[in-house]
C-alpha cells in the first residue's frame, strides 16, 4: 500500500494524483521539473519527433518513450497512464474527453513525448527577482497563436504559440539572460514588445489561458510555448492522441537545476 | 557554368568538391560549421532520430531532411549527393565503397541527418588560447570506443565513442567552459583524465583517427564524438546507409557563432 501524504515531493504528488486527486500541478514538488505530455500512435510518432527536432524552442523534447511503454527515464517509478491529475483525449483533432486515468485507452503502439514546460523558468525568474505577473495574480499565463509558422514535419504543421509575461522594462534584460540559460524549457524569449508584429491583435484577449494585467512600465515579453504541439495536433488531426490537460502537468524526478546551464 | 575559385567560402568549397576535388575539409570555409552526415532509408529514420534525441551529446542533430530531399536548411543551395568531397557507402553494416558522388545511389526514401562536429569547438578553443595538439601535429584527432553504452533506440545501439585532446592542466577549466557553451557541437567534455575508467586500455592506440602526442603537463580530456552514430550503424547493420568519409565533412552556410551560447 502506498501512503503518500503530500505534494512536496515528486513521488508524493504523483501518488496523490494516481489515487484520484485532480488539481493543477503549479507549486507542487517545488524545484522539480514538470513536463507537457503528448501521446501518439507509432504511425504518427516520427512526424512528432521530427516536429520537435525542427522546432526545439516550442517543442523541447525531454524524453521520448519506446512504443507501448508506460514509463519514462524522467521518473523511473512513475506510470504515465495514471500519474497525471488530468488528461485530454483527442480523436481526429477533436477533444472528446478529460479523464483522470487513461489505463483503459492505452495501446501497445503508443509513444509518449515529454516536453519542457515554462514552470521551470518561472521559478528561475522569481529567484532572479523578476516578478511573474500571472503568479502574482493567480492566473494561468496568457497564450497566443502567432503569424509565425513552425517548420512542418510530415503531416504535422501549425503556428508558433507563445506565452506572454509582462516584465518591468528595467528587468527585461535579466529575464532574457535567466531564461536563455534554460534552452530545454523554451529558452530565451522569441520576441520583446510589439505584439502586432507577431500577429497578436489584442493582448487582452489571449487564445489560450487567461488575460494577465500589466503594471505601469511593463513590457510584454513572449516565449515559445508548449501548447504549440497541441495546436499542431488540432490542425493536423491525427486519429488518436492523449495529452495532459492544461496546467495538469507530469511531475518528474528531475531537479530544475538539471536544465539550467552555468 | 560555376566558377568557384577557392575553399574560403562555404559555397566555394562545396563547388570545388562537386567538381571533383577530394580532400579533407579541415580549415576550409573558416568560421562556418561543418557537419557529419548519416543517410538512412525512411524505415530506419525513426530509430536514428530517436537515437539522436536520447543521446544528444554524441549525436547533436542540426538538421533532418524530408525523405528523398537532397537539400538541407543548413545550406539551401547545396546538394547533399554531390557536395561532400568523399562519402562512405554501407551495406548490412559493412563499408562497401568510398565514392565522391552518390547521385546514382540516391533513393526517394532516403533521410539525411546532419550532425554537429567538433571542428566548431576546436576553433573556439584556439580562440580562447587553448592549444589543440592534433591541429599542431597535423593529425586526425584520436577517438576511442568506451565502456559506456548509448541509450538504445529501436534497432540502434552501440557504445559511446569519444575524441580525446591533451589539454594543459592549467587550461582544462577554460576548455570545459568554452565547449560547454556549444552544446550542439558536443558541448562540455564527458570525462577528464583517468582513461581506464572509460575502458580505454591504451591511449596511444586509438580505435579511430591517429595517435596524438601529449606535451608534459597535459591531461587527456574526452568529448562525445560524432563517430558514435557510425559505430551504432556498424553494430546494428541497417541494409543500406551513406555517411561522409572521416574528415570529409559537409560544409554548411551556418556561422559557428550560431552554435555558441552567450
3-state per-residue secondary structure call for B43-100: HHHHHHHHHHHHCCCCCCEEEECCCCCCCECCECCCCCCCCCCCEEEEECCEEEECCC
Under a CB-based contact definition with an 8 Å cutoff, are residues B223 and B163 in contact? Answer: yes
B40 and B58, same domain (yes or no): yes
Res. A249 pLDDT band, cuts 50 70 90 = very high
- pLDDT at residue A79 is higher than 60: yes
The grid coordinates of residue B85 equal: 568531397
A65 and A81, same domain (yes or no): yes
Q: Could you give the CA distance from residue A76 to residue B177 in angstroms, rounded to a whole number?
A: 31
- Which residues does chain B have within 8 Å of residue A262's beta carbon, measured at their own beta carbons? 180, 262
> Is residue A102 one of the residues assigned to a domain?
yes
Q: Could you give the CA distance from residue B241 to residue B42 in angstroms, rounded to a whole number?
A: 11
- Which residues does chain A have within 8 Å of residue B52's beta carbon, measured at their own beta carbons? 53
> Is residue A182 one of the residues assigned to a domain?
yes
Q: How many contacts, defined by CB atoms under 8 Å, are there between A and B?
A: 35
Q: Could you give the CA distance from residue B115 to residue A92 in angstroms, rounded to a whole number?
A: 35
> Is residue A19 one of the residues assigned to a domain?
yes
List pLDDT tens digits, range A92-125. 999 999 999 999 999 999 999 999 998 888 989 9
> Is residue A4 one of the residues assigned to a domain?
no
Give the per-residue pLDDT at B26.
84
A126 and A222, same domain (yes or no): yes
List pLDDT tens digits, range A212-245. 999 999 999 999 999 899 999 999 999 999 999 9
B39 and B69, same domain (yes or no): yes
Task: Please tell me the total count of domains within chain A.
Answer: 2
B157 and B178, same domain (yes or no): yes
Q: Which member of B46, B151, B261 has the closest CB to residue A49?
A: B46
> Is residue B17 one of the residues assigned to a domain?
no
pLDDT per residue as tens, chain B (262 positions): 344 458 899 999 999 999 999 998 988 998 999 999 999 999 999 999 999 999 999 999 999 999 999 999 999 999 999 999 999 999 999 999 999 999 999 999 999 999 999 888 898 999 999 999 998 998 888 999 999 999 999 999 999 999 999 999 999 999 999 999 998 899 999 999 999 999 999 999 999 889 999 999 999 999 999 989 999 999 999 999 999 998 899 999 999 989 887 6
A105 and A172, same domain (yes or no): no
> Is residue A3 one of the residues assigned to a domain?
no
Under a CB-based contact definition with an 8 Å cutoff, are residues B171 and B62 in contact? Answer: no
Q: Which CATH number goes with the domain that contains A158? A: 3.30.2040.10
Question: With pLDDT > 90 as the criterion, what percentage of chain A qualifies?
Answer: 84
In a 10 Å sphere around its CB, with 0-12 CB exposed, 13-18 middle and 19+ buried, how is residue A262 labelled? exposed
B213 and B252, same domain (yes or no): no
Under a CB-based contact definition with an 8 Å cutoff, are residues A185 and A62 in contact? Answer: no
Instruction: Inspect the interface and report whether the beta carbons of B45 and A45 lie closer than 8 Å.
Output: no
Q: Which member of B53, B63, B261 has the closest CB to residue A49?
A: B53
Domain that holds residue A72: 10-116+232-259
Q: Could you give the CA distance from residue B226 to residue B214 in angstroms, rounded to a whole number?
A: 22
Q: Which CATH number goes with the domain that contains B82? A: 3.40.1640.10
Q: Could you give the CA distance from residue A220 to residue A144 in angstroms, rounded to a whole number?
A: 12
Instruction: Inspect the interface and report whether the beta carbons of A261 and B61 lie closer than 8 Å.
Output: no
**Per-residue buried b or exposed e for B48-84, using 16+ beta carbons within 10 Å of the residue's own CB:** bbbbbbbbbbbbbbbbbbeeeebbbebbeebbbbbbb
Total length of chain B = 262
B188 and B138, same domain (yes or no): yes
Rounded to a whole number of angstroms, the distance from the CA of B234 to the nearest CA of chain A is 22
| C-beta pairs of A63-66 under 8 Å, 24+ apart in sequence | A63/A35, A63/A112, A63/A113, A63/A114, A64/A111, A64/A112, A64/A113, A64/A114, A64/B50, A64/B53, A64/B54, A65/A111, A65/A112, A66/A111, A66/B154
Res. A5 pLDDT band, cuts 50 70 90 = low
Predicted complex ipTM exceeds 0.95: no
| C-beta pairs of B104-108 under 8 Å, 24+ apart in sequence | B105/B242, B106/B70, B106/B81, B107/B41, B107/B68, B108/B67, B108/B68
Q: Could you give the CA distance from residue B134 to residue B163 in angstroms, rounded to a whole number?
A: 11
- Which residues does chain B have within 8 Å of residue A50's beta carbon, measured at their own beta carbons? 49, 64
Give the per-residue pLDDT at B5.
58
> Is residue B175 one of the residues assigned to a domain?
yes
User: How far is Cα of residue A231 from the mean position of the Cα atoms in its chain?
Assistant: 12
Give the per-residue pLDDT at A262.
60
A213 and A247, same domain (yes or no): no
List pLDDT tens digits, range B5-25. 588 999 999 999 999 999 989
- Which residues does chain A have within 8 Å of residue B46's beta carbon, measured at their own beta carbons? 45-46, 49
A127 and A225, same domain (yes or no): yes
> Is residue B15 one of the residues assigned to a domain?
no
- Which residues does chain A have within 8 Å of residue B180's beta carbon, measured at their own beta carbons? 261-262
User: How far is Cα of residue A158 from the mean position of the Cα atoms in its chain?
Assistant: 16
DSSP lists the bridge partners of residue B142 as B164, B209
Could you tell me which residues of chain A have a Cβ less than 8 Å from any Cβ in chain B? Answer: 45-46, 49-50, 52-54, 61, 64, 66, 73, 151, 154, 180, 183, 261-262
B126 and B221, same domain (yes or no): yes
The grid coordinates of residue A194 equal: 510589439
Q: At how many degrees (to 10) do helices A228-236 and A42-54 cross?
A: 130
Residue B220 is given by DSSP the state E
B112 and B242, same domain (yes or no): yes
Q: Could you give the CA distance from residue B130 to residue B86 in angstroms, rounded to a whole number?
A: 30
Q: Could you give the CA distance from residue B247 to residue A107 in angstroms, rounded to a whole number?
A: 45
Amino acid at each position: 500500500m502506498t501512503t503518500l501524504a503530500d505534494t512536496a515531493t515528486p513521488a508524493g504528488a504523483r501518488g496523490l494524483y494516481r489515487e484520484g486527486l485532480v488539481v493543477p500541478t503549479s507549486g507542487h514538488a517545488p524545484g522539480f521539473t514538470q513536463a507537457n505530455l503528448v501521446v501518439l500512435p507509432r504511425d504518427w510518432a516520427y512526424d512528432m519527433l521530427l516536429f520537435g527536432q525542427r522546432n526545439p524552442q516550442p517543442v523541447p523534447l525531454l524524453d521520448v518513450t519506446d512504443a507501448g511503454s508506460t514509463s519514462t527515464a524522467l521518473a523511473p517509478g512513475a506510470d504515465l497512464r495514471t500519474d497525471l491529475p488530468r488528461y485530454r483525449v483527442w480523436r481526429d483533432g477533436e477533444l472528446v474527453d478529460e479523464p483522470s486515468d487513461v489505463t483503459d485507452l492505452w495501446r501497445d503502439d503508443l509513444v509518449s513525448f515529454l516536453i519542457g514546460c515554462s514552470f521551470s523558468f518561472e521559478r528561475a525568474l522569481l529567484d532572479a527577482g523578476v516578478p511573474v505577473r500571472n503568479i502574482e495574480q493567480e492566473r494561468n499565463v496568457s497564450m497566443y497563436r502567432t503569424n509565425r509558422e513552425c517548420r512542418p514535419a510530415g503531416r504535422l504543421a501549425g503556428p508558433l504559440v507563445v506565452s506572454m509575461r509582462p516584465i518591468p522594462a528595467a528587468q527585461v534584460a535579466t529575464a532574457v539572460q535567466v531564461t536563455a540559460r534554460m534552452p530545454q524549457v523554451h529558452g530565451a524569449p522569441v520576441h520583446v514588445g510589439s505584439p502586432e508584429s507577431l500577429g497578436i491583435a489584442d493582448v487582452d484577449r489571449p487564445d489560450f489561458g487567461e488575460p494577465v494585467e500589466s503594471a505601469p512600465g511593463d513590457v510584454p515579453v513572449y516565449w515559445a510555448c508548449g501548447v504549440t504541439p497541441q495546436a499542431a495536433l488540432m490542425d493536423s488531426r491525427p486519429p488518436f492522441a492523449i495529452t495532459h490537460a492544461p496546467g495538469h502537468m507530469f511531475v518528474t524526478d528531475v531537479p530544475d537545476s538539471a536544465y539550467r546551464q552555468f
